[in-house]
Amino acid sequence: MALAEWEWWSVNPIYGLSPSSFEKTDPVPPSTTDAAAIVNEAFRREVAWGVLLFIAMISGARRGEVVALRRRHHDPVKKVLYLRKAIAQLDETNELIEKGIKNETARHIVLDESTNQLLIDYWATLDAAAAKAGCDLDGDAFFFSLEPDHSTPLRPGSVTQRYRRMTRAMGLDTQLKCLRHFNATELIAAGVDIRTVAGRLGHSGGGSTTLRFYAAWASEAHQRAAGDLAARLPERPAVLDQIERAKTAPDLELLHLGSTVKTFVAEADPADAGQLARLLRSAVRRHTAGANADVGDFELVVRNPCEPTIVTVFASL
């Protein structure tokens, strides 16, 4: 550093540092079967827990973004879920704070009809429970809370611990963030373009981060796309032998005593002597001046279309 060289600092702080040992790890999403089992088990244990994991899976939202969801972040008419905030837990004080989401990129997750109805029914259940407790849930109420009025969010760390306990009890070795990987890889596998996937995940860089992180799945999707394209293409024509190819408008050459008189194209079957005899007589009448020319002095050369290969030479004997 220049500061050390100029003796403004006595020691260069860079000395003694070593490169990070960090190694890139590939995302390991749960299989489709495991993902379904996880969500089903969560709903069996508690409706709110099932909804939380289902939202995480269907939206690809981060843990802090899911627990930061408020009622006003769901538009049941437009069928959209708005991801605008995230809940963070301070290490020093264990305090929860609401902050902007990573990369400061608010996202609008379009919901399918079934998921949208699930959230409508979920809030109807919460409203009924709150009414029994003498509470009213307004737009600021959190989706997931331990309080009757849903005034405080769940702790992100508690969500992770509960997920770990449940999946271990199921005999699965997976993490909560793998639901996000599941969302990304399923979208890529379905052929959704990388920029759209990046937008749903909240990745910056116009898709470069997503492509780098999920490169293997993108490659598989490209290979499947090539297979799908091949399946939609017309069947490759069968390779015809010379006789069959020459049937499709062959090139014909009329010879008189070995010299070319005329070349022309006509439909002909090189294996049909009768047809070739008629073609020869017709060509002699049309392309020679003498009406009484001796057909026996002429030959008809049959070639493949646009090729020099001779298929047969016909002469009238």
What would the pLDDT profile of 201-222 be if each residue is shown by its tens digit? Answer: 766 666 666 656 665 555 555 5
Question: Phi, psi at residue 123, to the nearest 5°?
Answer: -70, -30
* Higher per-residue pLDDT: 37 or 271: 37
Helix (H), strand (E) at residue 312: strand 310-315
| Local structure of 35: helix, strand or coil | helix
Q: Find the largest Cα–Cα distance for the chain.
A: 117
The pLDDT of residue 236: 45
DSSP 70: B
Separation of alpha carbons 186 and 36, rounded Å? 13
- Ranking 89-98, 99-108, 160-169, 199-208 by mean pLDDT, the lowest is 199-208
The pLDDT of residue 276: 76
Residues ≥6 apart with Cβ < 8 Å to 206: 195, 198
The pLDDT of residue 22: 46
pTM for the complete prediction?
0.60
Question: Phi, psi at residue 172, to the nearest 5°?
Answer: -110, 140
- Ranking 206-210, 236-240, 302-306 by mean pLDDT, the lowest is 236-240
The pLDDT of residue 131: 94
At the top level of CATH, which class does the domain 32-180 belong to? mainly alpha
Going from N- to C-terminal start, the domains of the chain cover 32-180, 242-315
The radius of gyration of the chain's CA atoms, rounded to the nearest angstrom, is: 38
The pLDDT of residue 210: 63
Give 41-67 as a DSSP string.
HHHHH-HHHHHHHHHHHHH---HHHHH
Helix (H), strand (E) at residue 85: strand 85-89
- 130 pLDDT tier (thresholds 50, 70, 90): very high
Q: Answer yes or no: are the C-beta atoms of 177 and 171 closer than 8 Å.
A: no
